[in-house]
Amino acid sequence: MRGLLSSSPTLLRRAAAAAAAQISGTGCSNATASVASPLCRSTLQDGKGKAFFGSWSRGCSMSTTADLLLDYESDPPLDDAQALRKESSLNVAVSQLASDFDRESNLCLEKFSRTRRASVISTGSLKLDLALGIGGLPKVIICFHIIYNSSSVGGHKAFIILFCSFCPVWQITDKHMLQGRMVEIFGKEASGKTTLALHVVKEAQKNGGCCAYIDAENAFNPAFAEAIGVDTERLLIAQPDSAENSLSIVNTLVGGSIDVVVVDSVAALIPKCEIEGEIYMNSEDIQSRLMTRALRKIHYTLSRSETLIIFVNQVRTKKSSNQSPVVYKEVACGGNALGFYAAVRLRTSRRELRYTEDQATGIGISVQIIKNKLVPATLKEAGIDLRFGKGICRESEILEMASSIGVIMKDGCGYWINNEFLADNAAAEKFLHENATIADEICSTIRSQFFER
């Protein structure tokens, strides 16, 4: 900028003086044309700016006004020689980074195409998968880069993806481009948190995945898990005696070849100092500080793995002391760190009981998406029906969603399924429950309509 000013100081001063004269309402005999600078033109578009600059310029000398306007002139574009020197200097810095640090710090200076695709695991609920916007919970985020020319990037290794436009399969040449994710499911008691987590485990096992369950509450029920559809013989179950051991197990499992890790629950993670100390001892904020330190390490390991971690959490009622009248609000246990690290946060709440012939057979819950880093689906809700001892009522969701898109024809209170008329919802749900193959085909059609466009 100084070079530009020294090359033509007279011309710039005349232009600035003419602009200042035009603002203040006076003419300028030294300037051949009253042309305002871009700064002045943008400011004079409204009346307030004109009034302000008019009063301001009358209180300032012309030389001061010109100097201030000159200080805000734009820098000239770089010529070829300057751009080459800048690029060479940056390449030297990148080469130095590549030699001093590991390849996670490598930078790419060439043009590239980048997109993100999420590998998801279904939640077991079609409604919740639709509300999440990506068809389920994010198991791994895959970053795709197409490098056009990597020979001039300091000689360091570039990340390359083999892209095939007609094939849905992406072949990854560097595993460090995979990033696992954390999910938090929190809510009041008996609101379906553990049931929802077990359904995710079931869906992961259906795809051949390996899962682990950290039972910090010592309340795991194998019979209930098997009724949902979890293969307990293929499920790794741990019941650690302290929070430190539990989180160390999670960090170790994330570094291995595991797909889903469930921690049930965060509120039951007891630090060793609380176990060894007396009940009356004040141990405030110990768990939150422990979670903050542990999550930093787990997140580092998770960024190099393909694992989905589900933290089941409880809520507590907290009194707000800064408001009058006093307001009580619900907060999740374990501090604020988990909320920042989680890619998805789900709040579950119980709505009402479900009855069949005057007998309570289940409950209806509402799952609210509090946070979603992948798509703008925040604050969306999904209503899910849970059957006692069986989990999510899949058949009712299939009937509702399939009839909405015309996969199943609804005739009054009945349904046409596979050329067979069923008189009411109970008969249709029973038919889908007894014919799992037909239900799977309808479910696949629904997913192709909503999630594979």
pLDDT of residue 295: 97
pLDDT of residue 191: 96
Band (22; pLDDT cuts 50, 70, 90): low
Distance CA 308, CA 421 (A): 42
Once rounded to an integer, what is the mean pLDDT over residues 13-23? 55
Which H or E run contains 100?
helix 80-100
Record the pTM: 0.74
Once rounded to an integer, what is the mean pLDDT over residues 443-451? 89
Q: Is the pLDDT of residue 177 over 50?
A: no
Once rounded to an integer, what is the mean pLDDT over residues 225-251? 97
DSSP string, 235-303: EEEE--SSHHHHHHHHHHHHHSS-SEEEEE-GGG---HHHHHS-TTS--TTHHHHHHHHHHHHHHHHHT
- Across the strands, what pairs with 430? none
Once rounded to an integer, what is the mean pLDDT over residues 368-394? 91
Q: Which of 13-17, 121-125, 371-375 has the highest mean pLDDT?
A: 121-125
Distance CA 399, CA 428 (A): 8
Compare 53 and 453 and report the one with higher pLDDT: 453
In whole numbers, what is the pLDDT of the chain averaged over residues?
78
The three-point CA angle 264-301-162 to 5° equals 115
Residue of 307, 264, 268, 269 lying closest to 290 (CA atoms): 269
pLDDT of residue 241: 94
User: What proportion of the chain, given as a percentage, has pLDDT over 90?
Assistant: 50
Q: Does domain 393-453 have CATH number 1.10.3720.10?
A: no
Q: Is the pLDDT of residue 215 over 90?
A: yes
- Please determine whether the domains at 181-391 and 393-453 fall in the same fold group of CATH: no
Phi-psi region of 390 (alpha: psi -120 to 50; beta: other; left: phi over 0): alpha
Distance CA 190, CA 62 (A): 75
Distance CA 132, CA 128 (A): 6
pLDDT of residue 76: 67
Band (327; pLDDT cuts 50, 70, 90): confident
Q: Is the pLDDT of residue 151 over 50?
A: no
Superfamily of structural domain 181-391: P-loop containing nucleotide triphosphate hydrolases (3.40.50.300)
Q: Poorest-confidence range of 11-20, 91-100, 219-228?
A: 11-20
Sorted by where each begins, the domain ranges of the chain are 2-71, 99-175, 181-391, 393-453
